[in-house]
Every structure is written in structure tokens, then in C-alpha cells.
Amino acid sequence: MTTRRIRGAAAVLAAAGAVAACSAPGDGGADGGAAAESVVIGVSSEPDTLSPLLGYGKDGNSKIFDGLLARNADLSLEPALAKALPAVTDGGRTYTYTLREGVTFSDGEPLTADDVVFTYRTVLDDRTNNPARSELDAIKEVSAVGDDKVVFTLDHPYAAFAARTVLPVVPEHIAGKQDPNTGAFNTEPVGTGPYVLTGWSKGEKLTFKANPDYWGGAPKVKKLTMAIIADDDVRATRLRSGDLDGAILPPRLAATFQGDEDKVTYRATTYDVRAVTLPTGNPVTGDTAIRRALDLAVDREAMVEGILDGAGRPAYGPLPVDDPWFAKDVERSQDLAEAGRILDRAGWRAGQDGVRAKDGRRARFTLYYPSGDKVRQDHALAYASDAKKAGIDVEVESATWEVIEPRMKQDAVLAGFGSTGDPDFGLYTLLHSSLAGDGFNNMARYDNPAVDEALDTGRRSQDAEAREAAYDDLQRELAKDPGYTFLTHIDHLYVLTDRWKDLTTQTEPHEHGFAGGPWWNAEDWQPRT
């Protein structure tokens, strides 16, 4: 969507931080070249690590590193450290990349194929604590051919593999001399990217300077500061006072800047879905009738309008309705009558207080949301209100993730998911039974053989029609046997001082703010003259 004060997404691309202060934006006021050279952005969270070996930047857009490939504004792949897209042979089992010439790390050492091999082999090593290792499990071997060629050999065809090679590449001559889990590289990274880390005050801010030798050209923004400000209201206040140049904000706060002629609001469409996990190990949420009834009881449209101020879309599954892989016939409206009939047929009878029960067990469960997240709180309360109309009692509680995580096996959670690039990326880790209870993967411990089969087909098939059919089947099966109640896909809103021209956003994953928003390509920004 595009207006004078709202400039929207072109079409495509984490834990809590603390409230803290940082330097005021700009060096010379709100206009002119000097002011445009320094940018201070307010974000809600910071990374746990800055090492790609442990998962940092795995979806691209790292300011410090580059991958073999990158995603442009419409999410299509383009060469980065590779000089061209890969040559794919052997029926989709071999991918060969030729490296761009003349690329150096920020310490001046040249990039070679050995650095790429080291990066991938270290990520795949079981001793490396990378939570996203399963995303690369199709790799059988990665090898260097001379200094400028890298060959990936896969165990099986993996249709989405090229998009996995946005993974940032690290220097073997530094990271190879350290323990990848505990080494200094986690907080003192060296990469080939457009910016160099100059400081990290945990819970407060990260500062970057432009890399003058960046292979893509020296950025016009010479200093970039990410201020870690967990509280939405504090971010808005500091943006309004001029302490920040830009910030990610929830819809209700972004709307307060609409009359400010010096600010522009950017709206990014996303794969970022809010959903309620329904653990199969809980005797209430594990009952398919309860899950189906909850799916029909929720008023998704009301949540979009009332909670998100229209900045989002109803979610009927993990894929947004405007995604090309979305199965159009799974859209469904609130239907309390049908929800009641499903529960009646399954033996869940309403008591005098309206709460249903079966075999002496009341239809009651606890729903947690992370403390301080107002958007999730509002979703949780609306969900409980809708569930009550169907005779299901949902007790809403807030807690820290440290409290929530050990309870995910039995209690529901108002969770966030979503990944860009290919349906395999977001769906496999969310739904495949092999990942049930694997950290934050498959939090509901969902186990459906038909869904597993569709996921495996979608991952391994090279045929576009076969993949489309598999993901259509998956979405229909998920509607019949929901392991989650999908509620809304949330648009991400960013408010920025109007000092740069032609800024865009990408369609974003669940993770956002730090590497997303209009600063996804800050190295390409051009100041207004």
C-alpha cells in the first residue's frame, strides 16, 4: 500500500531486549548530507549471537556478512558472493557456485572457496549449537574446487536448496581457530558485508560503520546504530523526541505518526503468523474435536480490525492468503453453530456454567503469552473470548519464555512463526512429526502422517506441479486436523524520518526489525538532496 505518509512493501525479506539509551540521531540536524550519514534505529530485540555458525543471518540481510546468494526486493534470488546463480546438475543433486572475484573480508583477507566449505561443514557438525542445522540436512558433501568454485552434493533433490545458500559465509582464518559455540567470533564478527561491527552493549545497542572496501560499493550511510528498546511505548516516545531516526512499532503506535510531516510509515507484508499451539499431550487440546471447534470459533476478521487496526490479514494456516502457494479453498469464517455441533457429536456437553465437559473432564486449558507483548496479549484475550462462546474455557496467563518453554508440552502458547523463500522453510519445522518438541520446532508436537507425506514430497520433488499439489493437500488436511489455531498474519510497520529516498521493504518472516524493515538494504540508501 502506498500513500504520501505510508509507503508499503514492494513484495518480499527475537527474544526480548532491554530499554536503554543511546546517542541521538544524526550529526547535523534533520536535513543535509551529514545528518543522512548516521542512522539510529529502534528495534525490540537483539540477536543472541552474531555468528552465522550458530544461526545468525541465516535468512539473509545481515549487515556484517554476505551469502553466496541474496534476495532482492521481490524475494527472488540474485548473486552475492557468487558471481552467478548456481549450475544445477545430476537431477537436482549437485549445485556448483563460482565465487565473485576480488571480495575481501573486512580485515583485508581474500574470500576463497575454503571459507564457504568451512562455514557449511561447521554448521552441519553436530558439535555446533546451530538450531537451524536441519535446514541443511540435504547436504551430503560440500567441497572446494580451486579457490573460486564450491560444489554441494545433496543426498536427494531438494527444490528449495538454492534459497538456503543465502547463509552468511565466515572467514576460516579467524573462526576456524575458535570453538564455534563459545569463541569470541560470536560477539566480534568479521565478514564481507557492507558494515563492520564497532560495538555491542548487550541489551542496549549495536553500532556499525560502513565498510569502505565493500564489494558492492561503500554505503552512503556511514554509521548505523541499532538501539535495543523492548518497550513499544518507549520506542515511540524516543522516535517522537528525535532520539531515534526510525523504529518498528505496533499498529496503534505507528498510527500516531500519521500527521507528522517529517515521518514516513513503511508497511511490510509478512509471513509472520500469530497462532495458538494446541499440544497433543494435553487431554483437552489433544482432542481433535476441541481443535476443530476452536478453529471455527475464532473471528479472525475481528482480530485483524480490532487488534491490528487493519494492518494484517486473517490466517487460515501458516501461509498468508496472498502467497502463491496458498490453497484458496481453505478460507473459512467464524461458525459457532458448527463448532457446537462438532463438540456435541464428540461428547463434549455444556454444563450449567456453559463450559463443556466429557467423561468428567472440563474443556479447560491454559494459554500463555510472553510478558510485555501487547499484540500477543490482545490475540490471547480475543481467542479466549471466542472460545468461551463455544463452551471452551481458556485461562490466559503471561510469563517469560524461561517459564513458558518447559510448559509447552502441556500448555498452549500464543506463538509466532513464519519464514520466507519457499513453503518448505516455514512448514517443515512447524509441522513435521520428526521435529515434534524439538525446541521451538513443532511446538504442538503435531503428528499427522498425511501432512508428513506432503512435506516430504514438497521438499524432495523437482516437479512444480507435484509440489503445488502436495502443499495444497497439506493445507486441506491441516484444516481438518488442526494442531494449531491460526489467527492472523501481521504486517510489520516502521516509522522513519524522511531523509532518504526510494526506500522499500520486503515481505518478511516472523523475525523482523533488526534485519528487516526499510533498513533491510541500508547500504543502498540515497539521501534526499
Lowest-pLDDT range of 21-30, 56-65, 316-325, 340-349? 21-30
* CA 99 to chain centroid: 28
Nearest CA among 336, 337, 355, 356 for reference residue 346: 356
| pLDDT value of residue 420 | 87
* Domains assigned to the chain: 6-46+202-267+494-527 (3.40.190.10), 55-175 (3.90.76.10), 273-490 (3.10.105.10)
Would you state the pLDDT for residue 33?
Answer: 55
State what percent of residues in the chain have pLDDT above 70.
Answer: 93
pLDDT at 131: 86
Reply yes or no on whether the pLDDT at 222 is more than 50.
yes
Measured in Å, how far apart are the chain's first and last C-alpha atoms? Answer: 25
**How confident is residue 372, by pLDDT bands cut at 50, 70 and 90?**
confident
Q: What is the pLDDT of residue 31?
A: 45
Contacts of 95 (CB under 8 A, 6+ apart): 86, 87, 88, 151, 152, 154, 161, 162, 165
- Specify which of 11-15, 196-200, 419-423 reaches the highest per-range mean pLDDT: 196-200
Summarize pLDDT for 44-81 with one digit per residue, the tens. 989 999 999 999 999 888 999 999 999 999 999 999 99
Q: Residue 134's pLDDT band (boundaries 50, 70, 90)?
A: confident
Q: Is the pLDDT of residue 20 over 90?
A: no
Q: Give the pLDDT confidence of 262-290 residue by residue, as tens digits.
A: 999 999 999 999 999 999 999 999 999 99
pLDDT score for 512: 73
- Residue 438, pLDDT > 50, answer yes
Contacts 24+ apart (CB under 8 A), 500-503: 500/36, 500/525, 500/526, 500/527, 500/528, 501/526, 501/527, 501/528, 502/526, 503/7, 503/264, 503/266
pTM summary value: 0.85
The mean pLDDT value for 201-219 works out to 97
In the beta sheet, which residues pair with residue 412? 367
Assess whether pLDDT exceeds 90 at residue 465: yes
In this model, does residue 25 exceed pLDDT 90? no
- In this prediction, residue 34 has a pLDDT band, given cuts at 50, 70 and 90, of low
Residue 510, C-alpha cell as written in the block: 516472523
Residues 354-366: pLDDT tens digits? 999 999 999 999 9
Residue 182 has a pLDDT of 97
Q: pLDDT confidence of 15, banded at 50, 70, 90?
A: very low
